[in-house]
Amino acid sequence: MPTPNDASMDAIGQRRDAFIERMLQSTRGTFEVFSIYIGVRLGFYEALAAGGSLTSRALASRTATAERYAREWLEQQTVAGIIEVDDEKADARKRRFSLPAAYVEVLVDQDSLNYLAPLARLVAGAVRPLASVLEAYRTGGGVPYAEYGADLREGQAGISRAMFLKQLGSEWLPAMPDVHARLMADPPARVADLGCGAGWSTIGVAQSYPKVLVDGYDLDEPSVTLARSNAKAAGLTDRVKFHVRDAGSPELTGRYDLVTAFECVHDMSQPVSALKAMRHLAGDRGAVLVMDERVGEAFSAAGNDVEWMMYGWSILHCLPVGKADPPSAETGAVLRPETLRRYADEAGFRRMEILTIDNLFFRFYRLHALER
Ligand SMILES: C[S@@+](CC[C@H](N)C(=O)[O-])C[C@H]1O[C@@H](n2cnc3c(N)ncnc32)[C@H](O)[C@@H]1O
């Protein structure tokens, strides 16, 4: 018969073993994400999707990479269960590998809402300045957005592109019927998109509403350069303009029918200044829309469905970038509705409405300058 002491030692041992298993699985997942990063950056998945089944030599030659590396990656992807091999017993250089059709949409098709390849770039970007992040934890300082580099910037652009081009004009803005009607009407409406990053939301508004004139604003110069080239490729340079500007800058002037901030208020050092600017740009008659993370209403030990991810971005990226330009509100990615309500109050809004838009990751807030 085990004594109570033995029983509690057993329970601790089981919990320890479960945690060991969990850490091993997490390590496996981490390696998988970085292996996907390699596949995305080197065009391996695209080549496999286009080429059917390929040997390591064929993959290397189509992607201008070295055969030995391509072979190691193909074998790793097979063992990870991402890529399939036709004959595992064949000579290593003769084996042919293929990407299952079901994975092509997720890894290659940038127009799909299921395109998740940019997540790997986001993760790689989020860990790029790890040494600076550690230093920031010690000093209480921040880490500038620029230190996170192209992977973070382009990963963010890639992960949000399809939803902005597909859902913004067909679901999200029509959830505000008065705004939707104004964007369709004459004289052409004006829209300001703050923290626009690579500009896909700005472009999405212009594509969905063929009359509107849209200004995108972002503090990060390389993002604005990317946004301009995206607008040019979309043939929208006559109606879509981008500007390097702080969202809270008093230099932001003009009168807009709609002012938006997509997934960026929580990254801002001074979110109240940005919300004040939004209120000012929209006046009493324009609309203000903030999209941010759909985290829980309050902290709970279990977290909600997306907090495991939002806290992940927050500890590595969102809190450090938000602290880069003091004095900082120190928000982090876990921007709860009550926090935004407080910021909106401080910025002079009278009412915060949560729109009924079904989305796992995002919550949509309409901020009203007047009570009614
Ligand atoms: C997570 S990204 C979101 C980009 C884009 N809205 C999207 O959803 O893909 C946050 C963006 O906010 C921008 N940002 C942060 N603070 C800003 C500020 N004070 N003024 C303007 N842009 C800012 C960053 O440069 C970055 O492009």
Does residue 130 lie in a domain region? no
In a domain, 34, yes or no: yes
What number does the ligand 1 atom closest to the CA of 196 have? 6
- DSSP 3-state helix, strand, coil percentages of the chain (rounded to 5)? 55, 10, 35
Pocket of ligand 1 contains residue 230 by CB under 6 Å: no
238 inside domain? yes
Cβ of 331 less than 6 Å from ligand 1: no
Does 372 have pLDDT greater than 80? no
CATH number of the CATH domain containing 359: 3.40.50.150
CA–centroid distance, residue 267 to ligand 1 (Å): 7
Burial 343-363 (b: 16+ CB within 10 A, else e): bbeebebeebeeeebeeebbb
Q: Is 195 in the pocket of ligand 1 (CB under 6 A)?
A: yes
Query: Where in 234-338 does DSSP place strands (E)?
Result: 240-244, 258-262, 287-293
pLDDT digits (tens, 9 = 90+) for 275-323: 999 999 999 999 999 999 999 999 999 999 999 999 999 999 999 999 9
pLDDT for 38-52, tens place per residue?
999 999 999 999 989
Is 246 within the bounds of a domain?
Answer: yes
| Per-residue confidence band for 7, with pLDDT thresholds at 50, 70 and 90 | confident
Ligand 1 site, residue 197, Cβ cutoff 6 A: yes
Residues 189 and 249 in one domain: yes
For ligand 1, say whether the CB of 263 is within 6 Å of any of its atoms.
yes
Question: How remote is the CA of residue 342 from the centroid of ligand 1, in Å?
Answer: 20
Name the domain boundary from 108, 125, 144. 108
> How many structural domains compose the chain?
2
372 three-state secondary structure:
coil
Give the CATH number of the domain where residue 96 resides: 1.10.10.10
State the Cα–Cα distance between residues 150 and 156, nearest whole angstrom.
Answer: 10
Does residue 187 share a domain with residue 76? no
Q: Which of 219, 220, 264 to mutate to test the pocket of ligand 1 (most atoms within 8 A of CB)?
A: 264
Identify the pLDDT of residue 159.
98
Q: What are phi and psi of 293, to 5 degrees?
A: -65, 140
Q: From the CB of 204, is ligand 1 less than 6 Å away?
A: no
272, 280, 279, 267: which is closest to 325 by C-alpha?
267
Q: Would residue 237 count as lying in a domain?
A: yes
* Exposed/middle/buried for residue 62 (C-beta within 10 Å: 0-12, 13-18, 19+): middle
Q: Is the CB of 344 under 6 A from ligand 1?
A: no
On whether both 50 and 176 belong to a single domain, the answer is no
Residue 4 confidence (pLDDT) above 80: no
Which of 267, 289, 291 has the most ligand 1 atoms within 8 A of CB, as the residue to mutate? 267
The residue contributing the CA closest to ligand 1 atom 12 is 195
**Stretch 65-69: mean pLDDT, rounded?**
98
Distances (CA, A) of 237 to 161, 162, 186: 18, 20, 20
pLDDT digits (tens, 9 = 90+) for 330-340: 999 999 999 99
Is 73 a residue whose pLDDT tops 80? yes
Ligand 1 near 201 CB (within 6 A): yes
pLDDT tens column, 311-331: 999 999 999 999 999 999 999
160 lines ligand 1 (CB under 6 A): yes
Pair 183, 103 in one domain: no
pLDDT-based confidence at 3, cuts 50/70/90? low
- Specify whether 64 is located in the same domain as 185: no
Domain shared by 333 and 225, yes or no: yes
Mean pLDDT confidence for 177-201: 98
Query: Can you tell me the mean pLDDT for 102-121?
Result: 98
Residue 192 DSSP SS3: strand
Residue 145 lies in a domain: no
Do 298 and 360 share a domain, yes or no?
yes
Cβ atoms within 10 Å of 156's Cβ, excluding its own: 22
Is residue 91's pLDDT more than 70?
A: yes
Last residue within a domain, chosen from 46, 77, 108? 108
Report CA(38)–ligand 1 centroid distance (Å).
26
Our answer on whether the CB atom of 145 is closer than 6 Å to any ligand 1 atom is yes
Measured CA distances, 203 to 12, 27, 216, 235, 237 (Å): 55, 38, 9, 10, 10
Shared domain for 164 and 99, answered yes or no, is no
Looking at residue 17, its pLDDT comes to 97
Q: pLDDT-based confidence at 250, cuts 50/70/90?
A: confident
In a domain, residue 137? The reply is: no
Cβ neighbours of residue 360 closer than 8 Å, sequence gap 6 or more:
294, 305, 306
268 lines ligand 1 (CB under 6 A): yes
Residue 54 maps to a domain: yes
> What are the tokens at 150?
């192209």
Ligand 1 centroid–CA 355 distance in Å is 22
207 and 316 together in one domain: yes
Please state the pTM of the whole predicted model: 0.96
Confidence at residue 8, expressed as pLDDT on a 0 to 100 scale: 86
Q: Do residues 349 and 219 both lie within one domain?
A: yes
Range of the domain at 276: 159-368
Give the per-residue pLDDT at 70. 98
Q: Are residues 78 and 178 in the same domain?
A: no
pLDDT at 251 over 90: no
Residues 352 and 267 grouped into a single domain:
yes
Closest to 359 (Cα-Cα) out of 261, 288, 293: 293
